[in-house]
């Protein structure tokens, strides 16, 4: 078998290196030896990395046996030199592998601002052009002015932390950077994407604002009516209003309690493979009076042999919410259809109405707590703003998914996708 061309070139290099060591100035001998060590290192690395892990050590031993004594540096033998080079390279590759697997971007910069080391995540988060390479100065990256100010302050010896955003809504991305100065000059910069955290903070702020408003309205009404009752005889004209708002408060508090129990995992469900038709029929029987008041029709298109793995009470609560919403927001004398269709190992339950529909921009947030498309109309219908959020959490506990899409030519289709079979252990 013919030896590889790379090893032929190495043999020629060994001959030339030996001639230089024996005939030329000692300095040139060291230069020739260093160049040859580098060549041996890269050839060895290529051969080792292309072989299976089980024969790596055998390959290294074979390479060491081929090295001439003239490759020695100082008191180190050729095998010591090669072993040390390979060890350093392995450590360097391990460090790079770890850096490229973490979610934060990491940059090491010198006191002059030169980028000495960075991982792939830093390139992505900071949108660095990979053509810049490792020697690019951080000033040329065109980062946000807040980030640049923090970097300069870090290089002066002060720990910094700064956040900024780029792009406009709805694709806005929030970034956070922490700068840690090094004792010998330079700094380490750690960058992370905090967009999800900011979104959760927004949800928390919206929740506090919405719950305050939802509670304030019925409480104010009750207080005004009770004050009127205290002022004198009113022949009971304020009692219905007090009762209605007290009921709304009760629904709101119970909804919050249910939601918190579900989110905390305290609501235990008994998942069984059940027929869906009896559950849907019970829901429609309960809501038939509400539909009759608007002269609406409830149509069930579900085969009797349609099964799903559900908790009967939770599924009934989910469908009651979806069907009652369709009754509330669909026009009088309209048709509301509850049907199913099979998708692989799942069953899709759909509730379709021919109301005014929901714009796509609202569909994405419709299952958030207290989110309303038409706030005034929702309150007039007696909604708490928690129903669809409870639906989403209940469906997720039953290993399903829930969503909404527009119907043709108008209206909305709320769907629930649930497994048909019990997962094997």
The CATH number assigned to the domain holding 218 equals 1.10.287.130
DSSP label at residue 236:
T
* CB 149 within 8 Å of CB 161: no
List the structure tokens of 414. 């709320």
* CATH code of the domain covering residue 168: 3.30.450.20
Instruction: Verify that 62 and 122 share a domain, yes or no.
Output: no
Alpha helices in 232-271 (DSSP H): 239-263
| Residue 253 included in any domain | yes
Which of residues 141, 173, 193 is at a domain's end?
193
| Residue 52 included in any domain | yes
| Residue 425 included in any domain | no
Q: What is the dihedral of CA 380, 381, 387, 391, to 10 degrees?
A: -150
Phi, then psi, of 108 in degrees rounded to 5 = -110, 120
Instruction: Verify that 284 and 401 share a domain, yes or no.
Output: yes
pLDDT of residue 375: 54
Which of residues 193, 209, 236 is at a domain's end?
193
Full 3-state SS string of 43-89:
HHHHHHHCCCHHHHHHHHHHHHHHCCHHHCECCECHHHHHHHHHHHH
CA neighbor of 338 nearest in space, from 241, 267, 416? 416
| Residue 135 included in any domain | yes
CA atoms within 13 A on the CB side of 29: 13
DSSP label at residue 4:
P
pLDDT in tens, the chain (425 residues): 444 545 445 554 554 545 444 555 555 555 555 555 555 555 555 554 444 444 445 445 555 555 555 555 455 565 665 666 666 666 667 766 777 777 888 888 888 888 888 888 888 888 776 555 545 788 877 788 888 888 889 998 899 998 888 877 777 888 999 999 988 888 999 999 988 888 887 777 777 666 766 677 777 777 777 777 777 666 667 777 777 777 777 777 777 777 777 766 767 788 999 999 999 999 999 999 999 999 999 999 999 999 999 999 899 989 999 999 899 888 999 999 999 999 999 999 999 998 888 877 777 778 877 676 665 545 555 566 778 888 888 999 899 999 999 888 888 999 999 999 887 65
Instruction: Verify that 73 and 109 share a domain, yes or no.
Output: no
Alpha helices in 232-355 (DSSP H): 239-263, 276-293, 312-329
DSSP label at residue 425:
-
* CB 252 within 8 Å of CB 389: no
CA neighbor of 213 nearest in space, from 375, 86, 425? 375
Residue reference for tokens 């030339």: 16
Instruction: Verify that 278 and 179 share a domain, yes or no.
Output: no
Instruction: Verify that 279 and 385 share a domain, yes or no.
Output: yes
Q: Is the whole model's pTM more than 0.75, yes or no?
A: no
| Residue 424 included in any domain | no
* CATH code of the domain covering residue 276: 3.30.565.10
Instruction: Verify that 280 and 355 share a domain, yes or no.
Output: yes
* CB 78 within 8 Å of CB 69: yes
Instruction: Verify that 83 and 184 share a domain, yes or no.
Output: no
Q: Give the whole-angstrom CA distance, residue 357 versus residue 405.
A: 9
Instruction: Verify that 161 and 52 share a domain, yes or no.
Output: no
| Residue 184 included in any domain | yes
Instruction: Verify that 155 and 134 share a domain, yes or no.
Output: yes
Instruction: Verify that 51 and 25 share a domain, yes or no.
Output: yes
Which of residues 165, 193, 221 is at a domain's end?
193
| Residue 380 included in any domain | yes
| Residue 112 included in any domain | yes
CA neighbor of 160 nearest in space, from 117, 190, 204? 190
List the structure tokens of 151. 């970097």
* CB 17 within 8 Å of CB 69: no
Instruction: Verify that 220 and 119 share a domain, yes or no.
Output: no
Instruction: Verify that 42 and 152 share a domain, yes or no.
Output: no
Report the domain count for the chain. Answer: 4
Residue 17 is part of which domain span?
5-98
CA neighbor of 179 nearest in space, from 164, 192, 162? 162
């Amino acid at each position: 078998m013919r030896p590889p061309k790379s090893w032929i070139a190495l043999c020629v290099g060994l001959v030339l290196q030996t001639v230089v060591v024996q005939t030329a100035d000692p300095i040139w001998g060291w230069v020739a030896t260093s160049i040859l060590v580098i060549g041996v290192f890269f050839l060895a690395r290529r051969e080792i990395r292309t072989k299976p892990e089980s024969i790596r050590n055998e390959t290294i031993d074979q390479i060491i046996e081929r090295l001439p004594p003239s490759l020695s540096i100082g008191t180190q033998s050729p095998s010591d030199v090669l072993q040390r080079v390979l060890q350093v390279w392995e450590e360097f590759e391990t460090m790079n592998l770890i850096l490229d697997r973490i979610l934060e971007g990491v940059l090491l910069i010198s006191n002059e601002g030169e980028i000495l080391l960075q991982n792939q995540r830093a390139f992505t988060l900071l949108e660095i052009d990979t053509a810049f390479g490792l020697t690019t100065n951080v000033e040329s990256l065109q980062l946000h002015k807040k980030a640049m100010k923090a970097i300069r302050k870090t290089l002066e010896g002060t720990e910094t932390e700064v956040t900024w955003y780029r792009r406009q809504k709805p694709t806005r991305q929030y970034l956070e950077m922490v700068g840690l100065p090094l004792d010998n000059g330079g700094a380490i910069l750690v960058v992370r994407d905090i967009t999800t955290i900011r979104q959760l903070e927004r949800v928390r702020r919206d929740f506090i604002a919405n719950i305050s408003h939802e509670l304030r309205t019925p409480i104010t009404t009750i207080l005004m009516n009770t004050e009127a009752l205290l002022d004198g005889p009113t022949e009971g004209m304020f009692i219905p209003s007090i009762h209605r708002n007290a009921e709304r408060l009760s629904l709101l508090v119970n909804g919050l309690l249910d939601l918190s129990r579900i989110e905390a995992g305290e609501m235990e469900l008994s998942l069984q493979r059940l027929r869906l038709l009896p559950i849907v029929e019970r829901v429609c029987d309960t809501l038939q009076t509400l539909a009759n008041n608007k002269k609406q029709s409830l149509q069930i298109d579900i085969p009797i042999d349609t099964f799903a793995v559900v908790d009967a009470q939770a599924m009934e609560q989910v469908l009651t919410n979806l069907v009652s919403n369709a009754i509330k927001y669909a026009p009088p004398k309209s048709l509301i259809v509850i049907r199913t269709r099979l998708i692989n190992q799942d069953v899709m339950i759909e509730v379709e109405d021919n109301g005014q529909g929901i714009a796509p921009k609202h569909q994405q947030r419709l299952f958030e707590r207290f989110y309303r498309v038409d706030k005034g109309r929702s309150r007039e219908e007696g909604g708490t703003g928690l129903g669809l959020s409870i639906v989403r959490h209940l469906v997720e506990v039953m290993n399903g998914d829930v969503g909404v899409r527009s119907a043709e030519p108008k209206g909305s289709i709320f769907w629930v996708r649930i497994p048909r079979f019990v997962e094997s252990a």
